[in-house]
Structure 1
Amino acid sequence: MADVNSLRQRLSLLVDEITRDIQVIETTRNLNSKHRVELSINEATRLARDLERLDSSYGREYKQRIDAIRQRLENVSRIPVHGAWNSGFDPEVDRLGQQQRDALLRGHASLVRTGEALNISRQTAHETEQLGNEIMADLTTQRETLLRTQDRLNEGNEHLKAGSKTLRLMYSRVIMNKVLLITIILVELGVLGGVIYWKFFSK
């Protein structure tokens, strides 16, 4: 990511410098710096290709800007003017050249605005993605909490079932003990009655 940011910064500075140079050429109509600007454009093109391999969206954006800059340089180079470029001066041609320059400037401004809008859209998409990730993380945490709660409820139900089974078993044993006790009492009463009968009534 550091390489991408460094490359973007270098390319942005170079493109801004080229843009200023072309604006000077368009204003002064002096092509003495044309060769240097062309070399800078070639260097910017190379950097844009390198950037495109690392970040395709930014690379394509800068390549479009560089193509527009190259077209501006070609257009301004073809406009015949008096003085340093041409000894003949045609006001109509000069007017058309000015119109072309104005159109190029408007196109460049539109391209810059489009790039800014794309950057804003990209930033918004990134923020939306981060928000979505945070929501997903919260939902995952809540799901884990619900699962743990469900596990505890299931464990509590198991304990209740085990307790209920124990109570039923204890109740059964109490009933059996009562029946056994009653049986013993009846047997003892029978034995006692037999002894009394034998002792008092058998003679």
Structure 2
Amino acid sequence: MTSLLESYEQQYSTLTADITHLIGKISTSHGVEKQGHVRQVEKLFEEAAELLEQMDLEVKEQPGKDRQKYQTRVKSYKTELSKLQTDVRRAKLGLDSREDILGDDSHDAEDQRTRLLENSERLERVGRKLDHGYRTAIETEQLGSTILEDLHTQRQTIQRGRSRLEDMNAALGKSSRVLTGMMKRVIQNRILLVVIGLIMVVTICVAIYLIVRRT
């Protein structure tokens, strides 16, 4: 498991190096090119944040001494990532070049920089909340669509089952009518046999009576 953490650390080191390189490009680029670099660095920040989450999970599985050591490392990585995010905000606003022009002793420039950073952070927080809300809405819509599809499938299954039951009921009804007709015919045949038997008995009795009387 330690080797896995070391692999995570190597990946994190590579990501932060790429982020630092892109921050330099953001500071020196403009327009569409700058926007492209900003999108790239935002993706790298997302990957780095996910990587730190994986590291947190792995650290929890470590024994006591190693766990404390890696927890300290992960905390420092998070602090470093936060500083890099601040550097990105500075680069997007072009604050480094302003410092060179105005100098460190300009109080107004410092106040302006602070306000710009605060406004930028607020905008980014609002943007993240909007993105999160949008993703939640999309996921909810997808979930609702899936549920509706499942309900539609279940409804079709129930309708097919009901149709089969109706067909079975119709077949049973037809069979019942056939059996009833057969029973009626059997009863009629038995009554006819009884009547024929009685007629034969009466005929035989009459014939015997006549024969006896003649003698």
Q: Identity of aligned pairs, percent?
A: 31
Name the aligned partner's letter for residue 153 of structure 1. Answer: L
The count of aligned residue pairs is 134
Q: Against the structure 1 CA distance between its residues 177 and 121, is the aligned structure 2 distance closer, same or farther, given a 3 Å change threshold? A: same
> 1:172 offset after TM fit, Å?
0.6
- Name the residue aligned to 1:176: 188
Instruction: Decide which of 171, 175, 180 is 1:163's aligned counterpart.
Output: 175
Amino acid at match of 1:117: K
Residue in 1 aligned with 2:95? 23
Separation in 1 of the partners of 2:107 and 2:113?
10
Q: What is residue 143 of structure 1 aligned with on the other side?
A: 155
Once the two structures are superposed, the pairs formed by residues 59-70 of structure 1 within 5 Å of their partners are none
Which structure 1 residue ranges, 5 or more long, are not aligned?
1-8, 30-80, 83-90
Rounded Cα–Cα distance in structure 2 between residues aligned with 1:157 and 1:140: 25
Alignment of 1:1-203 (within 5 A): 12-13=35-36, 20=92, 22-29=94-101, 94-202=106-214
Residue 10 (structure 1) shift: 6.5
**Whole-angstrom CA distance in 2 between matches of 1:145 and 1:114:** 46
Offset from partner CA, 1:84-113 (integer Å, 9 cap, x none): xxxxxxx8xx42342132112110111112
Which whole-Å CA distance do the structure 1 matches of 2:108 and 2:140 have between them? Answer: 47
After TM superposition, where is structure 1 displaced by more than 4 Å over at least 4 residues in a row? 14-19
Residue 143 of structure 1 deviates from its aligned partner by 1.7
Per-residue CA distance 1:53-89 (angstroms, 9 max, x = gap): xxxxxxxxxxxxxxxxxxxxxxxxxxxx69xxxxxxx
The separation in 2 between residues aligned to 1:160 and 1:192, in whole angstroms, is 48
Structure ID, larger Rg? 1
Higher relative contact order (CA closer than 8 Å, sequence separation 6+): 2
Q: 1:26 to 1:153 in 2, by over 3 A?
A: same
CA-based RMSD of the aligned residues comes to 2.9
- 2:142 and 2:33 map into 1 onto residues whose CA distance is 28
Distance 2:213 2:37 in 1: 136
The letter of the residue matching 2:35 is S
Q: Which runs of 5+ in 2 are unaligned?
A: 1-31, 40-87
TM-score by length of 2: 0.53
Using the size of structure 1 for normalisation, the TM-score is: 0.56
